[in-house]
Amino acid sequence: MEPTIRDVARLAGVSKSTVSRVLNNDPKVSDRAKGAVGDAMRELDYRPNALARGLSTSRTGTIGLIMSDITNPFHAEVARGVEDLAADYESNVILCNTDGRPTKEQAYIDLLLEKRVDGVIFLSAKMDESDVSMLQARQVPFVFAGRTLLDVEADSVVVDSVLGGFQATNHLIGLGHRRIAHISGPARVSASADRYEGYCQALRRAGIFIDPDLVADGDFRHDRGYRAMNQLLDRTTGMTAVFAGSDYMALGALEAIYERGLKAPDDIAVVGFDDISFARLHLVQLTTVAQPKYDIGAIAARMLLERIGDPSADRPPQKVVLPPKLVIRRTCGDYLGPRDFDSETHRGDSQ
Amino acid sequence: MEPTIRDVARLAGVSKSTVSRVLNNDPKVSDRAKGAVGDAMRELDYRPNALARGLSTSRTGTIGLIMSDITNPFHAEVARGVEDLAADYESNVILCNTDGRPTKEQAYIDLLLEKRVDGVIFLSAKMDESDVSMLQARQVPFVFAGRTLLDVEADSVVVDSVLGGFQATNHLIGLGHRRIAHISGPARVSASADRYEGYCQALRRAGIFIDPDLVADGDFRHDRGYRAMNQLLDRTTGMTAVFAGSDYMALGALEAIYERGLKAPDDIAVVGFDDISFARLHLVQLTTVAQPKYDIGAIAARMLLERIGDPSADRPPQKVVLPPKLVIRRTCGDYLGPRDFDSETHRGDSQ
DNA sequence: ATGAAAGCGCTAACAG
DNA sequence: CTGTTAGCGCTTTCAT
pLDDT tens across the length of chain A (351 residues) = 789 999 999 999 999 999 999 999 888 888 888 999 999 999 999 999 999 999 999 999 999 999 999 999 999 999 999 999 999 999 999 999 999 888 999 999 999 999 999 999 999 766 566 678 889 889 999 999 987 776 778 899 999 999 999 999 999 999 999 999 999 999 888 889 999 999 999 999 999 999 999 999 999 989 999 999 999 999 877 899 999 999 999 999 999 999 899 988 889 999 999 999 888 888 788 999 999 999 999 999 999 999 999 877 778 999 999 999 999 998 887 644 333 333 333 332 332
Q: Which residue among B55, B112, B226 sits closest to A52, beta carbon to beta carbon?
A: B55
**CA–C1' nearest nucleotide, residue B56:** C8
Q: Is the pLDDT of residue B71 over 60?
A: yes
Q: How far is A19 from chain B (nearest CA, A)?
A: 16
Instruction: Kindly list the residues from chain A whose CB atom is less than 8 angstroms away from the CB atom of residue B258.
Output: 282-283
| Interchain proximity B84–A73, CB inside 8 Å | no
Show residues of chain B in contact with A65, CB under 8 Å: 95
Domain edges within chain B: 5-48, 58-159+293-322, 161-291
Pairing assessment for the beta strands B92-97 and A92-97 based on DSSP bridges: antiparallel
According to the model, what pLDDT value does residue B345 have? 35
Identify the pLDDT of residue A129: 61
The DSSP string of A214-254 is: GEE---SSHHHHHHHHHHHHHH-SS--EEEESSHHHHHHHH
Which of B57, B283, B331 is the best mutation test for A, with the most CBs of A within 10 A? B283
Could you write out the DSSP letters of every residue in B160-205? -HHHHHHHHHHHHHHTT--SEEEE---TT-HHHHHHHHHHHHHHHH
| Per-residue pLDDT band at B338 (split at 50, 70, 90) | very low
B211 confidence band (pLDDT: 50, 70, 90):
very high
Mean pLDDT of B118-138: 82
For residue B187, give the amino acid letter: A
Please name the member of A49, A112, A282 whose beta carbon is closest to the beta carbon of B116.
Answer: A49
- Looking at residue A151, its pLDDT comes to 72
Alpha-carbon distance B319 to nearest alpha carbon in chain A (angstroms): 26
Are B230 and B237 in contact by the 8 Å Cβ rule? The answer is no
User: What is the mean predicted confidence (pLDDT) over B230-244?
Assistant: 91
Distance A298 CA to C9 C1' (A): 33
Residue A332's pLDDT is what? Answer: 83
Strand D within 7 A of B16 CB: yes
- Give yes or no on whether A5-48 and A58-159+293-322 have one common fold: no
Under 8 Å between Cβ of A278 and A248 = no
List the beta strands (DSSP E) in A52-176.
62-67, 92-97, 119-122, 142-145, 155-159
* A120 at interface of B, judged by CB pairs closer than 8 A: no
Whether omega for the bond prior to residue B324 falls within 30 degrees of 0, making it cis, is no
Q: How does the average pLDDT of chain B come out, rounded?
A: 89
B210 touching chain A per CB within 8 A:
no
The mean-pLDDT minimum among A256-270, B32-46, B89-103, B335-349 falls in B335-349
Q: Give the C-alpha separation, A329 to A282, whole Å.
A: 9
Distances (CA, A) of A285 to A228, A271, A288, B162: 21, 10, 9, 34
User: Radius of gyration (Cα) for chain A, nearest Å?
Assistant: 26
On the CB side of A185, how many CA atoms lie within 13 Å of its CA?
A: 24
Establish if B84 touches chain A: CB-CB under 8 angstroms. Answer: yes
CA B337, chain centre distance (Å) = 36
Beta strand ranges found along chain A (DSSP E)? 62-67, 92-97, 119-122, 142-145, 155-159, 180-183, 215-216, 241-244, 269-274, 287-290, 319-322, 325-327
Assess whether pLDDT exceeds 70 at residue B342.
no
D strand bases under 7 Å from protein CB: 1-13
Q: For the segment B153-210, what is each residue's pLDDT rounded down to a tens digit?
A: 889 999 999 999 999 999 999 999 999 999 999 988 888 999 999 999 999 999 999 9
**pLDDT for the residue A190:** 84
B283-315 residues labelled b (16+ CB within 10 A) or e (exposed): bbbbbbbbbbbbbbbbbbbbbbbebbeeeeeee
pLDDT digits (tens, 9 = 90+) for B216-236: 999 998 999 999 999 999 987
Sign of torsion over alpha carbons B80, B85, B89, B94: negative
Taking an 8 Å cut-off on Cβ atoms, the answer to whether B114 and A48 are in contact is: yes
Sign of the four-CA dihedral B248, B251, B257, B259 = negative
Nucleotides of C under 7 A from a protein CB: 1-5, 7-13
Query: Are A130 and A122 spatial neighbours (Cβ–Cβ below 8 Å)?
Result: yes
Contact A51 B48 (CB under 8 A): no
Instruction: Give the pLDDT score at A126.
Output: 65
Q: Which pLDDT band holds residue B127 (cuts at 50, 70, 90)?
A: low
Q: Which 2-61 residues of chain A approach strand D with CB closer than 7 Å?
A: 13-18, 21, 27-30, 32-33, 52, 55-56
How buried is A298 (Cβ within 10 angstroms: 0-12 exposed, 13-18 middle, 19+ buried)? buried
Query: Which of B83, B251, B259 is facing A95, going by the closest CB pair?
Result: B83
Q: Do B92 and A84 touch (CB under 8 A)?
A: no
Report whether B232 contacts B239 (CB < 8 A): yes
**Cβ(A255)–Cβ(A224) below 8 Å:** no
**Where is average pLDDT lowest: A335-339, B102-106, B172-176, B305-309?**
A335-339
Please list the helix, strand and coil fractions of chain B in percent, rounded to the nearest 5, in that order: 45, 15, 40
Residue B128: the pLDDT is: 60
Q: How far apart are the first and last CA of chain B?
A: 56
Query: For the domain A161-291, what is the CATH superfamily, name and number?
Result: Response regulator (3.40.50.2300)
Of B95, B112, B114, the CB nearest to A93: B95
Nearest Cα of chain B lies from the Cα of A80 at a distance, in angstroms, of: 7
The region, left, alpha or beta by phi > 0 then psi within -120 to 50, assigned to residue B323 is beta
Q: Which of B69, B283, B227 minimizes the C-alpha distance to A279? A: B283
pLDDT at A148: 75
The closest alpha carbon to A264, from B94, B232, B283, belongs to B283
Distance from CA of A346 to the nearest CA of B (A): 25
CATH topology for A58-159+293-322? Rossmann fold (3.40.50)
Q: How far apart are CA A187 and CA B343, in angstroms?
A: 44
CA dist., res. A246 & res. B9, Å (int) = 54
Percent of chain B with pLDDT over 70: 93
Q: Which residues touch strand C (CB under 7 A)?
A: A 1-2, 4-6, 16-17, 20, 23-24, 48-49, 52-53, 55-57; B 13-18, 21, 27-30, 32-33, 52, 55-56
Amino acid, res. A21: R
For the domain made up of A5-48, give the CATH fold: 434 Repressor (Amino-terminal Domain) (1.10.260)
Interface of A with B in 122-161 (CB under 8 A): 137-138
Contacts of A274 in chain B (CB under 8 A): none
For chain A, first and last CA: distance in Å? 56
Q: What is the pLDDT of residue A187?
A: 86
Q: Which residues contact A56 (CB under 8 A, 6 or more apart)?
A: none
Q: List the single best residue of B95, B136, B280 to mutate versus A (max A Cβ within 10 A).
A: B95
CA torsion sign for A234, A236, A239, A244 is negative
- Confirm whether any atom of chain D, the nucleic acid strand, is less than 7 Å from CB of A113: no
Nearest residue: Cα versus C1' of C8? B56
pLDDT of B130 reads 66
Cα dihedral sign, A130-A135-A136-A142:
negative
For residue A206, the distance in angstroms to the closest alpha carbon of chain B comes to 33
Identity of residue B121: I
- The proportion of chain B whose per-residue pLDDT surpasses 90, expressed as a percent, equals 71
Helices then strands, each counted (H, E), chain A:
13, 12
In chain B, the residue whose alpha carbon lies closest to the alpha carbon of A51 is: B51
Nearest chain A residue to B85, by CA: A97
